[in-house]
């Protein structure tokens, strides 16, 4: 399905409690050293083997064991640029599409119900728990917040390699929590803990996504098309025309694509807004001095992305 839409305002979040100590989030998290369950211990998460991780004053927890090498995680400046651009509503139609996919997909049971190995999951009574929305590579938590607005009984957990991003993601929504983690590594999460997973412009660890997603859960993946921001040329990363095909191939061992929506609309930006857009992306790591000094006063770009929905493949079939 293709939808051409006009930008709309962002959605306000309801006032409810959350954070890394929220029951559904705490039960989902696992110690990144030994895999044991966590318990809240003051301003920290501590496992039964004594491994402890402080909860930052901003409300997130850093589960990494070493510093992140320079140039791999979004810098504070990149995160600030992303927050400014997204808060201005430029990608609100895309966030709306993510929220629609999460809400609609969560309401539709998988054909035939859960697969026979559902009881392998650590959560035996998932229906009695609030839904958990996991955003892998969440950035500032902008899309996670939109999904939580659409799922009023859900809590959310943002994972991102950037501590600066997690500081913002932990405050993106009253029901959001955040943890610093490299999503290419085994996720510090229980089997079958997430009912909805989001992956927006971020790396995809298909095997781990399959492990932590409930058998009746959904994965919502957002990828740019070859037309996305194409007007900016070399100032943004070029999109492989086969990206959508390669995405499906990469996930196909564990997931079936069941729905997709294309979101396309024009965006009129000032020079300062264009600068912010470029500075929030991965090319910001490689910009030469003065590269953005000659931007025109007004720029018209195309936002063009695919919002795809996947369900777990029946691996016994």
**pLDDT digit string (tens) for 71-123?**
789 999 999 999 999 999 999 999 999 999 999 876 655 444 433 333 334 44
- Please report the pLDDT score of residue 125 as a whole number: 43
Q: Phi/psi class of residue 132: alpha, beta or left (left: φ > 0; alpha: ψ in -120 to 50)?
A: beta
Given a cut of 70, is residue 126 above it in pLDDT? no
Q: Rounded mean pLDDT of the chain?
A: 83
**pLDDT digit string (tens) for 23-69?**
889 999 999 999 999 999 999 999 999 999 999 999 999 999 888 77
Given a cut of 90, is residue 235 above it in pLDDT? no
pLDDT band at 200 (very low <50, low <70, confident <90, very high): very high
Residues in the chain: 317
Hey, how many other C-beta atoms are within 10 angstroms of the C-beta on 290?
A: 7
pLDDT (mean) for 1-18: 38
How much of the chain, in percent, has pLDDT values that exceed 70? 77
Sheet holding 255-270, edge to edge: 2-4, 255-270, 298-312, 213-224, 194-200, 131-136, 154-160, 176-180, 60-62
* pTM (two decimals): 0.84
pLDDT (mean) for 275-291: 73
pLDDT band at 315 (very low <50, low <70, confident <90, very high): low
- Please report the pLDDT score of residue 157 as a whole number: 98
The CA distances from residue 125 to 120, 130, 145, 214, in Å, are 12, 11, 26, 12
- Please report the pLDDT score of residue 119 as a whole number: 34
pLDDT band at 209 (very low <50, low <70, confident <90, very high): very high
């Amino acid at each position: 399905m293709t939808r051409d839409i006009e930008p709309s305002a962002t959605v306000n979040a309801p006032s409810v409690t959350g954070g890394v100590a929220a029951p559904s989030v705490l039960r989902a998290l696992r110690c990144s050293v030994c895999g044991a369950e966590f318990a809240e211990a003051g301003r920290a998460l501590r496992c039964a083997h004594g491994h402890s991780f402080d909860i930052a004053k901003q409300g997130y927890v850093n589960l990494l064991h070493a510093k992140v090498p320079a140039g791999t995680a979004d810098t504070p400046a990149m995160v600030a640029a992303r927050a400014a651009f997204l808060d201005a509503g430029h990608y609100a139609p895309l966030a709306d599409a993510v929220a629609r996919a999460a809400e609609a997909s969560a309401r539709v049971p998988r054909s035939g119900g859960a697969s026979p190995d559902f009881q392998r999951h650590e959560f035996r009574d998932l229906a009695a728990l609030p839904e958990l929305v996991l955003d892998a590579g969440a950035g500032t938590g902008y899309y996670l917040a939109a999904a939580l607005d659409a799922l009023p009984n859900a809590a959310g957990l943002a994972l991102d390699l950037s501590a600066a991003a997690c500081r913002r993601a932990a405050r993106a929504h009253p029901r959001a929590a955040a943890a610093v983690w490299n999503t290419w590594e085994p996720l510090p999460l229980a089997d079958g803990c997430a009912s909805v997973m989001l992956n927006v412009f971020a790396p995809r660890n298909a095997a781990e996504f399959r492990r932590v997603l409930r058998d009746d859960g959904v994965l919502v993946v957002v990828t740019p098309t070859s037309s996305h921001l194409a007007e900016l040329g070399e100032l943004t990363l070029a999109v492989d025309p086969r990206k959508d095909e390669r995405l499906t191939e990469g996930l196909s061992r564990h997931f079936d694509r069941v729905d997709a929506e294309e979101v396309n609309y024009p965006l009129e930006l000032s020079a300062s807004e264009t600068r912010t857009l470029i500075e929030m992306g991965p090319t910001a790591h490689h910009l030469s001095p003065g590269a953005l000094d000659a931007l025109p006063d007004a720029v018209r770009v195309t936002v063009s992305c695919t919002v795809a929905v996947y369900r777990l493949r029946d691996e016994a079939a």
